[in-house]
Amino acid sequence: MPSTAIARGGFAAFLAFEACKPSRSDLVKSGAAAVAPHESTAALQSSAAPDRAHRAGTACRGSELPADQHYVAPGLCARAVAVNQGPLREIAFLPNGDLIAVTRDGIIRRYRDANGNGIFDQNAPETLDWARTGGSHGQNCHFYGDYLYCGSDDGVKRWKYSPSSDRGGEGEDVMVGQPGGGNHPFHPVHVYDGWMYVDSGSERNTFWSLPDDYVTDRAVIKRFPIAGFVPGKPFAWRDGEVFVRGARNVTGFTRDAKGRMYGVMNGLDDLRYNADDIHQDNPGEYFAELEAGQAYGWPFCFAAARVVRGGQMVPPGTPLHADAYFDFFPQHLVASNKDDAWCETHMTQPMSFVEAHSAPLDVTIFEGPDGALPARWKGGAFVSMHGSWDRLPSTGSKVVWLPLDADGRATMPLSTASETTFPYEVVFGGGNGSRPKDGHWGWQANGVGEAFVRPVGVAISPIDGALYVSSDDQAVADHPGKLLNAIGQGAIYRIAIAAP
């Protein structure tokens, strides 16, 4: 890794635990002690400063967050443009500038700044519930060919979209029969070049008894040819072409202008390797380029983040066999039925990763428009991190920028026996005006705010070029074995270069 890339990250691995799965009283076992973050304030300030030529004429819009209650990269401002929105999941802009969000309970919500005051007022026509997916597994919508394709409880539905219509109606089923129970019920969907790609996360952390080979009903991305869809005769999940296997939970994926698909994946919890408890730092949460035929190891293997084997540090990203706890009662440790040699030849190595258990949920590639964000960030990836439950102290609950080179490749983090250094920059999260603070955070001002800011969706406006971030404000556990109920205040944030 180039030294400049290391300086931009400036972070060691952090410790966190994820609030999107059931917790257990014996969650933190005899693992290694927590490692404090290694941060370089000067490096963060100098590397994150935006290009001065792009600062003029971009005003901060929305409700101001108290400076001592949040962090945003130097030269940028973060504002709340919608508050008290409930459990928001991913967001997406349409070509005309309408912002579409989906809530956890399946509401498809349209946002439109009709009066130009820079926020989404909480009344029609600025904020309105446009349609419903029909269930509680709402995750995202993708606009393609005049239709919104949105994940539903048992597959995908679509709606003909018109900016002049304030109601979408019932919609129609495009694909049905997709499983959605367990820890990972959501059905992220995107449509590219006539193919509808749909993710199905694993039902549990692992299997009670491991299969002999990769399964094809869950922990996969499947695709379906839109040209073959006949209204009234939806595709069946079982008939989809398996695109990627062994992916425990591809919560968010996207594609760049050159046709390269990228995804972020949530890895195994309660991980063991050669009888050692390594779950606090492993596995890193994957950032990967997605291509047909790949297999990402679940449930047999994982990519090392910080593992010592035979007294030597294992190179980050190396495929290793995985022993992990089955996360449903009665719980027990499930030993991998593969070895490291099998994993080396049967698992696709991710391009990079972020901290273990930080729960990345969405990714978008910054390709413009120019002016509202630093020009040097162009071509890189914004990744949202929801925050996690399987590690203490907490990590995630932030948005980062991950650099990609001219070939669309990311850099692998570097690990020593005591810390991991990541190549990303923190864009938005906890902390204050001078430095970020990883993990759980919230803010309150003038009667509004979020008790827990937990980023889910990231999207770049085609109109003003700013980065928008959704948060579902799902409550998080404050110690092992305790999971709080979701509060769901929810908000949307706008991040852009501050006016000079």
Each residue of 116-139: pLDDT tens digit? 999 999 999 999 999 999 988 889
pLDDT for residue 55 is more than 70: no
Average of per-residue pLDDT across 38-55: 33
Average of per-residue pLDDT across 151-161: 96
Q: For the CA atoms of 239, 240, 243, 245, what is the dihedral angle to 10 degrees?
A: -60
Each residue of 318-374: pLDDT tens digit? 999 999 999 888 889 999 999 999 999 999 999 999 999 999 999 999 999 999 999
Each residue of 190-225: pLDDT tens digit? 999 999 999 999 999 999 999 999 999 999 999 999
Each residue of 395-438: pLDDT tens digit? 999 999 999 999 999 999 999 999 999 999 999 999 998 999 99
pLDDT score at 12: 30
Q: What percent of the chain is predicted at pLDDT more than 70?
A: 86
Going by pLDDT thresholds of 50, 70 and 90, the confidence category of residue 388 is: confident
Which residues are CB-contacts of 183 (< 8 A; sequence separation ≥ 6)? 20, 21, 22, 201, 202, 203, 204, 205, 249, 327
Share the mean pLDDT of the chain: 87
pLDDT score at 392: 80
Average of per-residue pLDDT across 175-188: 94
Q: Is 34 exposed, middle or buried (0-12, 13-18, 19+ CB in 10 A)?
A: middle
Do the Cβ atoms of 116 and 165 come closer than 8 Å? no
The tally of domains found in the chain comes to 1
Distances (CA, A) of 139 to 34, 46, 101, 211, 371: 33, 36, 9, 29, 30
Strand 155-160 with 172-176, pairing: antiparallel
Which residues are CB-contacts of 308 (< 8 A; sequence separation ≥ 6)? 314, 417
Tokens representing 304 are 């090392």
Average of per-residue pLDDT across 252-277: 97
pLDDT for residue 9 is more than 80: no
pLDDT for residue 313 is more than 60: yes
pLDDT score at 50: 39
Which residues are CB-contacts of 213 (< 8 A; sequence separation ≥ 6)? none
Please give the residue that has the higher pLDDT: either 36 or 240.
240
pLDDT for residue 484 is more than 90: no
Please give the residue that has the higher pLDDT: either 60 or 13.
60
pLDDT score at 475: 76
pLDDT score at 119: 94
pLDDT for residue 1 is more than 60: no
| CATH number (domain holding residue 213) | 2.120.10.30
pLDDT for residue 40 is more than 80: no
SS (H, E, C) the chain: CCHHHHHHHCCCCCCCCCCCCCCCCCCCCCCCCCCCCCCCHHHHHHHHCCCHHHCCCCCCCCEECCHHHCEECCCEEEEEEEECCCCEEEEEECCCCCEEEEECCCEEEEECCCCCCCCCCCCCCCEEEEEECCCCCCCCEEEECCEEEEEECCEEEEEECCCCCCCCCCCEEEEECCCCCCCCCCCCEEEECCEEEEEECCCCCCCCCCCCCCCCCCCEEEEEEHHHCECCECEEHHHCEEEEECCCCEEEEEECCCCCEEEEECCCCCEEECCEECCCCCCCEEEEEECCCEECCCCCEEECCCCEECCEECCCCCEEECEEECCCCCCCEECCCCCHHHHHHHCCCCCEEECCCCCEEEEEECCCCCCCCCHHHCCCEEEEECCCCCCCCCCCCEEEEECCCCCCCCCCCEECCCCEECCCEEEEECECCCCECCCCCCEEECCEEECCCCEEEEEECCCCCCEEEEECCCCCCCCCCCCCCCCCCCEEEEEEECCC
Domain residue limits at 30: 3-497
pLDDT score at 222: 98
Q: What is the pTM of this model?
A: 0.89
In DSSP terms, 143 is beta-bridged to: 148
